Amino acid sequence: MLLNILAVGDVVGEGGQDILARRLMELREETGAHFVVVNGENASGVGITPAQARRMLDAGADVITLGNHTWNRIQIGDFLDKEPRILRPANYAGRVPGRGMGIYPCKGFRIAVLNLMGRVELNPNLDSPFKGANRLLREEGYDLAVVDFHAEATSEKGAMGWYLDGKVQALWGTHTHVPTADCQILPKGTGFVTDLGMTGPSRSVLGIRPEHSINLFLGGLPRRYEEAEGPCKLNACLFTIDTDKKRCTAVRRADIQE
């Protein structure tokens, strides 16, 4: 059987939530996606609230993953413990709410979703995501495994892809909000793309008003970033998995531009 897994890039602000709510079910149908993972860590601009997470699940997400802004909306803590369909990075050091891996039923198969976060130029205080992946993948009770690797450095994302080649069926990068053109199947059968991109305002710098970034780079006083206005996009990739061979057979972009 061929199983289609749709991975959706970081949802940014109200614009990102809106296009996800309006277009995700349509995209599921167009791509024949059986299972959808959405990165939601920027739903509030930085962070996500329980209400925003519920809206994403209602829009058609099967699982929500997070990243470095997990704790910017502290009210998400209890929700992470109560709702198994939302994950935070598994390699946060110390005792924090939630879980970094979940196992979910889909078409008679059990899909393990791992959420990991990089350390290079992002958060050096994390536990090693490479060792964390090894630990999680030793668990039993799943048939297929996919990974959202939330990381800054493209080198760290690429290294993780090659490290887990053959151990997981798909691995995609999130966080940098810029879609990459390197969809590929690694030698041992893992589908890989360095970054999905983002879901949010198109005429922006990573989802925020361009003038705010320009001000920063020109040496202006720091100010609160605000979400850009105007048309939005939805960046995503579709991974097709051969469930018999447990290999990815195709990876392609599945973007929407309004």
Q: Which helix (H) or strand (E) holds 18?
A: helix 13-31
**Catalytic: 69?**
yes
Helix intervals (H) in 60-200: 76-82, 129-137, 154-163
In the set 34, 69, 175, 212, the catalytic residue is: 69
Phi, psi dihedrals of residue 227, rounded to the nearest 5°: -65, 140
Q: In the block, which residue shows the tokens 């829009």?
A: 59
Q: In the block, which residue shows the tokens 């991109």?
A: 197
Phi, psi dihedrals of residue 257, rounded to the nearest 5°: -125, 120
Helix intervals (H) in 143-228: 154-163, 210-217
What does the alpha-carbon distance between residue 215 and residue 218 come to, in Å, rounded to a whole number?
Answer: 5
What does the alpha-carbon distance between residue 154 and residue 175 come to, in Å, rounded to a whole number?
Answer: 10
> Where in the sequence numbering do the catalytic residues fall?
69
